[in-house]
Amino acid sequence: MSIDLPMARRFSPAVELPSARVAQYTVAINLGGFMGVALLAGSLADSLRSAGARLEDASHHIRDLRAFNEYVINSLLSGLITTDHDGRILTFNRAASTISGASASQVIGRHVIEVMQMPESVRTRMADLIAGRSLRVDSQYRTPGGRVIDVGLTASTLTFPEGGVGYLWSFQDVTEIRRLERDARLRQRLAAVGEMAAGIAHEIRNPLASMSGSIQVLRQELPLSEDQAQLMDIVLRESERLNDTIRSFLAYARPQRSAPARLDVRKVLQDAATLLRNSAEVRPDHVIDVEVPVDPVWCEADENQIRQVVWNLATNGLRAMSSGGRLRLAVSSERAPDGDESVVLSIQDEGCGIAPEDLDGIFQPFRSSFERGTGLGLAIVHRVVTDYNGTIQVSSQVGTGTTMSVRLPALAGVTAAAESGHRSVAV
CB neighbourhood size of 405 (10 A): 17
Q: Pick 264 or 365 by higher pLDDT.
A: 264
Contact 374, 245 (CB under 8 A): yes
What are the tens digits of pLDDT across the range 75-107?
A: 778 899 999 888 899 999 988 998 999 998 999
State how far the Cα of 314 lies from the Cα of 294, in Å rounded to an integer: 22
Enclosing domain of residue 334: 261-426
Verify that 94 and 241 share a domain, yes or no. Answer: no
In a domain, 2, yes or no: no
The residues pairing with 287 across neighbouring beta strands, listed in sequence order, are 326
Among 231, 253, 275, identify where a domain stops: 253
In a domain, 7, yes or no: no
- The number of folded domains in the chain is 4
Verify that 208 and 326 share a domain, yes or no. Answer: no
Verify that 265 and 373 share a domain, yes or no. Answer: yes
Among 236, 253, 270, identify where a domain stops: 253
Q: What is the mean pLDDT of the chain?
A: 79
Burial label, 300 (beta-carbon count in 10 A; 0-12, 13-18, 19+): middle
Burial label, 198 (beta-carbon count in 10 A; 0-12, 13-18, 19+): middle
pTM metric for this prediction: 0.46
What are the tens digits of pLDDT across the range 10-58?
A: 444 545 556 777 777 777 787 777 787 778 777 787 788 787 777 777 7
Among 111-125, 134-148, 349-363, the range scoring the smallest mean pLDDT is 349-363
CA atoms within 13 A on the CB side of 52: 6
Contacts of 391 (CB under 8 A, 6+ apart): 385, 406, 407
In a domain, 12, yes or no: no
Verify that 218 and 281 share a domain, yes or no. Answer: no
Verify that 249 and 365 share a domain, yes or no. Answer: no
Q: How far apart are the first and last CA of the chain?
A: 164
Verify that 349 and 310 share a domain, yes or no. Answer: yes
Spacing of C-alpha 16 from chain mean position: 106
In a domain, 89, yes or no: yes
Burial label, 187 (beta-carbon count in 10 A; 0-12, 13-18, 19+): exposed
Q: Does 380 score more than 60 pLDDT?
A: yes
In a domain, 4, yes or no: no
240: amino acid identity, one letter: E
Verify that 276 and 413 share a domain, yes or no. Answer: yes
Average pLDDT over residues 171-176: 90
Verify that 379 and 293 share a domain, yes or no. Answer: yes
Q: Pick 324 or 9 by higher pLDDT.
A: 324
Verify that 191 and 125 share a domain, yes or no. Answer: no
Verify that 201 and 114 share a domain, yes or no. Answer: no
Verify that 57 and 116 share a domain, yes or no. Answer: no
Residue 386 sits in a domain whose CATH number is 3.30.565.10
What are the tens digits of pLDDT across the range 320-346?
A: 888 888 899 998 888 776 667 888 899
Rg (CA), the chain: 45
Verify that 143 and 275 share a domain, yes or no. Answer: no
Q: Does 59 score more than 80 pLDDT?
A: no
Q: Does 420 score more than 50 pLDDT?
A: no
Among 234, 253, 272, identify where a domain stops: 253
